[in-house]
Homo-oligomer: A and B are copies of this chain.
Amino acid sequence: MEFMTGERETQVSTLREIFEEQPLGKEVAVEGAVHSIRDMGRIVFVTVRTRDGLLQTVFEKEEHPEFSGLKEAMCLRVQGRLRQEARAPRGLEIALEGLEILSAPAAPLPLPIDKWKLNTSLEARLNQRALALRHPRERAIFRIQEGIVRAFRDFLWEQGFTEVHTPKVGARSAEGGANLFRLSYFHKPAVLQQSPQLYKQMLVGVFDRVFETGPVFRAEKHNTKRHLNEYTSLDFEMGYIRSFRDVMEMETGFLRHMMEFLAQEYYQELKLLGVELPSVEQIPAVPFRQAKELVAKKYGRAVRSPQDLEPEEEQLIGEYFKEEYGSDFVFVTHYPSGKRPFYAMEDPEDPTVTLSFDLLFRGLEVTTGGQRIHEYGKLIEKMEARGMTEEGLEEYLDAFRYGMPPHGGLGIGLERMTMQLLGEENIREASLFPRDLSRLKP
């Protein structure tokens, strides 16, 4: 009988080990793909792309004629001695002594993965996504995206939240608007969830504080640089709040933690992309109406739609708070009631607005949140005032009937957060396999 013990001896080093330990003169082995080949006549440089970066290797043609068949995109296991080389990236290279070809491509690469920048159109990169992502700069985007999610979870665990997994397929409810994808679920009509909202609220009654990081689906017919039809939402909901400010403070705490965590754990990727992290000492919070007035006044702009922020207005609010307060972030609070969902709590001092907020990051909404109605009677009242039926909301309403603490929460669009942090122009740059009006594959 064979047994697995979980202990795997490996003779192969990671780049992190090599650059940290610098075992000069020692033989090391590395696995990776041939990223680029530079034939200098007598000697040949082969850059190997591993999961944690690029490593220069080198051999002399005369000494190793058997290495002559190397091609870009081959997967290799190489051995050699580590030595200092000032002209090599990060000052180290491997003088190749042995080499095993693990696999070879069937055709030459159609994208210049080995160039410093992939100067191809976004369209071309999305069509060849699995290949384009191999470029170190493309790959770095998603390493940093991973860091955002890790920071989110780590911070919330530290704050006593429980992670949950709620279903993405569900019965249609009175809440759902027109922006739902519909499907047939064993001959019953069903929809894809546009948010875990109702589930995370129900679960506040169970765990007090919950979060989820998962996909959400919006059948919106927007074809813009900032909309996706499927994206990853970072959601949390917390009970026993004293005010909707508690939710904004929690998000501010997360953002501070996120910046520290990225600076510490993802500095290689940030450096590669030339990203400077914004400082998040404090985030200004401005009421919706005041925000509109401030930018109308400063930028000489007429207030056209008093109930909404137009994209251009969001951008100007972002600029205003950058110029006046040096902040890349701003909370816009107290959105008009008519524009918020039925569960949003109205401001007792002015019921035309809600105890809600959006977070703008460099002029783009990256979060929507607020306090929710927690009293059963008030929820029913609000639904009636909106002409909503209880259909499909029975269990949600039950949670309130049997007691819920005051609570609030938010949802952060992961791709938007990534896009703004990295200064990308199009949200599709921040999605591994974007889904938009026309793109359903790869």
Contact = CB atoms under 8 A, between A and B. Distances in A.
Contacts of A376: 105-106
A352 interface: no
- Copies of this protein, total: 2
Given A7-B253, A232-B165, A403 B171 contact: no
A433 B167 contact: yes
A215 interface: yes
A143 B162 contact: yes
Interface stretch (A131-139, A298-306, A340-348): A131-139
Nearest to A1: B284
Interface string A415-426: 000000000000
A442 B199 CA distance: 9
Given A107-B401, A165-B232, A285 B6 contact: no
Interface stretch (A84-92, A180-188, A271-279): A180-188
A133 to B, nearest CB: 4
Interface in A301-332: 325, 331
B166 A128 contact: no
A338 B300 CA distance: 71
Interface stretch (A20-28, A117-125, A382-390, A391-399): A391-399
Interface residues of A, number: 128
A42 interface: no
A208 B440 contact: no
A165 B282 contact: no
A403 B435 CA distance: 26
Nearest to A111: B402
A402 B285 contact: no
A75 to B, nearest CB: 4
A442 B400 CA distance: 14
Nearest to A215: B168
Nearest to A406: B102
A186 B436 CA distance: 10
A433 B166 contact: yes
A245 interface: yes
Interface in A76-122: 77, 102-107, 109-110
A73 interface: yes
Contacts of A32: 208
A286 B1 contact: yes
A43 interface: no
Contact of A104 (B127, B150, B403, B440): B403
Interface pairs A-B: 6 shortest CB-CB: A395-B442, A6-B253, A105-B403, A51-B208, A73-B403, A6-B252
12 contacts: A6-B256, A32-B208, A103-B374, A130-B205, A146-B163, A149-B163, A167-B230, A168-B168, A169-B230, A170-B440, A202-B442, A395-B442
